[in-house]
C-alpha cells in the first residue's frame, strides 16, 4: 500500500494507539478506530496480542476491520466464543483482560466518560447509545486507553452524564497528542508531529495542564502506514 502521501492526523492517532499495545497480553476493543488500532498492533507489533470483543469472541484474528463487534469473521477466527454473561462475569469482571480501548462522546479531566446523553437525562438534546459494556470494562481491565477526537465538544469541563468512571485510565490518545493522568488530572504529555501546544489547549474545554518536557510522537514508519492503509483498503 502506498506510503507516498503524508499521514493524516487520524492515521497518526491510530498508529500511536497501536504502539501502546506493544508488550501487552490482551486487549478489549469496540468497533471503529480502536478496532483498527488493535488489528494494526497484531499485524505490526504484537502478533501474540489476544483481541477480545464484547460479542463474546476471545482471541479473534480479523483480517478486515469489522463493521460490528458481531461480524462473523470474529467468531470464525476466535480461540473461544462465549455468551454475554460469561464474557462479563468470568472474563472482564475478574480482570482477565489487561487493556481496554474505549471511545466516548464526552470526557472530563478525570477521564470519566459520557456515552449516554447530551443535555438533561429526562429531556435529552441528543440521545447517545448508552453504557454498553464500558462501565464494567473500565473497572475490570487494569489499563484503560481512551481514543477520542480532540475537540472542545468532546473534552469538556463538565460531563452531561457520567456513564463510565475514569480511575483506571492510563492514556487518552487523540488526533493531536496523548494525555495521561498526573495527580488525578489528565495532562498533555505528548504531541503528534507538527502539532502545537496551543492547538491542544484550544481543543480542550478546561484549562489544560501541559508537561514541561513534552514528548513528540515518532512519525509513523513506512511499515505501519502501509499496513494501516492496506487494512483500511480491505474495508
Catalytic sites, residue numbers: 54
CB 180 within 8 A of CB 132: no
CB of 135 to other proteins, least distance (A): 5
C-alpha cell at 1: 500500500
CB of 16 to other proteins, least distance (A): 22
Q: Specify the length of the chain in residues.
A: 235
- When the beta carbons of 207 and 235 are compared against other proteins, the nearer one is 235
Alpha helix stretches (DSSP H) within the chain: 9-19, 33-44, 72-77, 84-86, 134-140, 197-202, 222-234
> β-strand 99-102 against 80-81: which pairing, if any?
unpaired
The residues of the shown chain that bind other proteins, judged by CB under 8 A, are 31-32, 54-57, 66-72, 74-75, 80-85, 87-89, 92-93, 116, 121, 124-127, 129-136, 139, 161-165
- When the beta carbons of 164 and 189 are compared against other proteins, the nearer one is 164
- When the beta carbons of 13 and 35 are compared against other proteins, the nearer one is 35
What DSSP string describes 42-97?
Answer: HHHT-TTPEEEETTTEEEE--SS--SSTT-HHHHHH-SEE--HHHIIIIIITTT--
- When the beta carbons of 169 and 217 are compared against other proteins, the nearer one is 169
Amino acid at each position: 500500500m502506498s506510503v507516498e502521501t503524508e499521514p493524516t492526523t487520524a492515521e497518526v492517532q491510530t498508529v500511536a494507539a497501536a504502539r501502546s499495545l506493544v508488550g501487552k497480553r490482551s486487549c478489549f476493543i469496540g468497533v471503529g478506530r480502536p478496532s483498527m488500532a488493535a488489528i494494526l498492533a497484531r499485524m505490526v507489533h504484537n502478533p501474540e496480542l489476544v483481541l477480545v470483543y464484547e460479542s463474546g469472541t476471545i482471541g479473534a484474528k480479523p483480517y478486515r476491520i469489522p463493521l460490528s463487534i458481531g461480524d462473523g469473521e470474529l467468531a470464525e477466527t476466535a480461540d473461544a466464543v462465549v455468551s454475554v454473561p460469561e464474557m462479563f462475569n468470568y472474563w472482564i469482571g475478574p480482570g482477565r483482560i489487561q487493556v481496554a480501548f474505549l471511545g466516548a462522546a464526552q470526557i472530563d479531566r478525570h477521564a470519566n466518560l459520557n456515552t449516554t446523553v447530551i443535555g438533561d437525562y429526562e429531556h435529552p438534546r441528543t440521545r447517545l447509545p448508552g453504557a454498553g459494556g464500558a462501565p464494567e470494562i473500565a473497572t475490570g481491565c487494569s489499563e484503560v486507553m481512551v481514543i477520542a477526537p480532540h475537540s472542545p465538544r468532546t473534552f469538556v469541563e463538565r460531563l452531561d452524564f457520567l456513564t463510565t468512571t475514569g480511575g483506571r485510565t492510563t492514556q487518552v490518545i487523540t488526533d493531536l497528542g496523548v494525555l495521561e493522568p498526573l495527580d488525578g488530572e489528565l495532562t498533555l504529555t505528548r504531541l503528534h508531529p507538527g502539532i502545537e501546544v496551543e492547538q491542544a489547549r484550544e481543543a480542550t474545554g478546561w484549562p489544560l495542564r501541559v508537561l514541561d518536557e513534552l514528548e513528540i510522537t515518532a512519525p509513523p514508519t513506512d511499515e505501519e502506514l502501509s499496513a494501516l492503509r492496506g487494512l483500511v483498503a480491505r474495508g
